[in-house]
Structures are given as C-alpha cells and as structure tokens.
Amino acid sequence: MALTNIHLPIGIPLDRFIKKKQEDFPFATGELSQLLRDIALASKIVNLEIARSGLSGLEGAFGTQNVQGECQQKLDILANKCFIRALKRGGEVCALISEENEGVIDLGNTQGKYVVAMDPLDGSSNIDVNVSIGTIFSIYRRVSEVGGPVSEADLLQPGTKQVAAGYTLYGSSCMLVYTTGNGVNGFTYEPSLGEFFLSHQNIRIPDNPTYYSVNEGAYRSFGADTKAFIEYCKDRRISARYIGSLVADFHRNLLKGGIYIYPKTAAQPNGKLRLCYECNALAFIAEQAGGAASDGMNRIMEIGPEKYHQRSPFYVGTKAMVNEACGFIDLGMVESATRKMPGER
C-alpha cells in the first residue's frame, strides 16, 4: 500500500506564527511576542520533566502547602521555578502572581511592560497517575509607570484588560493554546524537532453541546439550582465527562462542545477556582472561541478582583449552555429539571 501521506506538511512553527501575527499590529514592538516565546520555552522544559518524572524521582508530595492550604507536589514547585526563571530572564515581565506564592513576585525587570498571573501546574492530584495536567496564564499590560515599582493595581485588573491568555496541556501530546484577542489557535509540540507547530487554527467551540463536566462527588453540597441544571443535562442525554484537571476538562469541551461547572458549595461558598489566574484566562479563550464564561450571575471577565487569590464559581463553555446554567440560578429553578427553559419551544 502506497504511503500517500508521508510528505504532508506539519504546520507553521509557533515562532513564525507569532512573528506573522505581530505584523498585523503596526505599533507592535515585539515585547509581547517575546513573552509568548518565553512561556513556550518554559512549557517545553516542564513537559520534559513531567514525561520523565516517574524515573527522576519527581513524583509525590513536596511536603509543603501553598497559600491555599493545598499540598504541593514536587512538580508544582519545579514548574513554578521554571516559569519564574523564564519570565525573569526574558525581561518583558516586571512581576507575576502564582498559585504557589502568597504575594507578588517582583522579577526586578523595572522596564518590563507586562505582568503575568498564572497557575504553573494545574491538576496536582493527577500528577502521579499519568493523567493530563496543564499550565494556565494571563498577560496584562502594567498600569504603573514603566521603570517604577510594581503596584497592586498592576496585578488586580479585570479579565477584560488581558492582552493575551492561554494554557499548555501536558498529556498524550503537549499543546499550547493561546489568544491575543484575535481568535484562538492551538500548537502541538513535536519533541524530535523541539518546536510547537500550528495544529488547531481558529478554534471555535461547537454550538451543540456534547459534554457537561462537574465533580458530581460533591453533588450533595451543591445548591438546588445547580442540581437542577445537572438533571437538565442528564434529561437531554448530554454525556458527563470529568477528569479533575481544569485544563484537560476545558480543552475537551473547547474542541467538542459542552460546559465546565465548578459551582459554589456549602463548604466553599465563594467557589474554589481562582479568578485571576484560572477563570480569567479560560474565560478569555472561551469568548474568543465563541463561548461564554460566568460566575453564575456575572460575566467572569468583568469582575474586578480584590485579592490575588480570590476565588469564584465558574461556568464556562458553549454559550447556550452557560446561559442556560445562569438561567437556573437567576430563576432559582428547584423543581423538576425536565421543565422547559424560558424561551424554549
């Protein structure tokens, strides 16, 4: 049988794609492009360490807790250091906030025009069981004067001020997905060449939902409105899929259509996910792909954060499903979820 596909091209390299997109902005000076390259470099290093973690002794707990009181894994610490080092040496970022650090990390780059909010390695509970995990990042232009000290206002900007956001998924393949406000593009890592190549151009989240993703182990602590919406999904034969790694669950629904839900619970009345470095980034990507993101009452990206590690309920995915979920909350739907939604025929 002839190997007809053996010479198919593998796509545009990330560096070339970034450079091409920079040309679309006449006033671009290259700092943001370099910053994205720095994130890609750190992602490659983290991907390598994850791939060999079982052989290099990097599995398991580090023995400390982060500011949220969560047990830190060895790879959490390593990933955090990799990204801090890459962004410091790149010189474009003056400061960042990380899930793994309580306060602002001043990188000493006083001329840097950008700040970053990030979760260096999301999905810690899945690190040791070979399940997909990821990095999430948000990029903002600083509001304080370049050359001066970093201010709290630099890091506490609403999601609408993001200039770029993205995530790296470490799984069966490594993917970098990002947006600069002009659509969403995904790049798959080719390890033998050491480069990310464009594999998913202009990603659009499907209008027809395939999955709903929620930790149903916490079902009894959900509010009646969230329970009703879950029953609503089941009645419409929408399949349940939940990995427990935010990036992996979000990525699947981004490509296949659906909704990811992490509602407030009795134990976590403000929700669990962090607004600044988890919700905002994925909300920006979802909206750029034609989807939506809400805390159940408000558009995620319009919420003004008051604390670096502020938590929020999170509903993100296909626009119609997010709107329906919010409809249950707005109307306090506690009766049978088989009833029709407002406006549904």
- Judge whether 295 is annotated as a binding position: no
- Judge whether 99 is annotated as a binding position: yes
- Judge whether 235 is annotated as a binding position: no
- C-alpha dist (Å) from residue 40 to 70, 254, 293: 27, 21, 25
User: Which structure tokens are listed for 112?
Assistant: 């840097």
The gap between the terminal CA atoms of the chain, to the nearest Å, is: 53
- Judge whether 122 is annotated as a binding position: yes
- Judge whether 155 is annotated as a binding position: no
- Judge whether 225 is annotated as a binding position: no
- Judge whether 253 is annotated as a binding position: no
H or E stretch at 246: helix 246-256
H or E stretch at 80: helix 74-90
CB 189 within 8 A of CB 176: yes
**6: amino acid identity, one letter:** I
CB within 8 Å of 263: residues ≥ 6 apart: 214, 222, 223, 226, 271, 296, 313, 314, 315
User: Which structure tokens are listed for 235?
Assistant: 């009645």
- Judge whether 272 is annotated as a binding position: yes
- Judge whether 307 is annotated as a binding position: no
- Judge whether 15 is annotated as a binding position: no
- Judge whether 312 is annotated as a binding position: no
DSSP string for residues in 5-21 = TTT-----BHHHHHHHH
Annotated binding site for substrate: 122-125, 215, 242, 272
| Annotated binding-site ranges for Mg(2+) | 99, 119, 121-122, 278
Extract the annotated binding site: 99, 119, 121-125, 215, 242, 272, 278
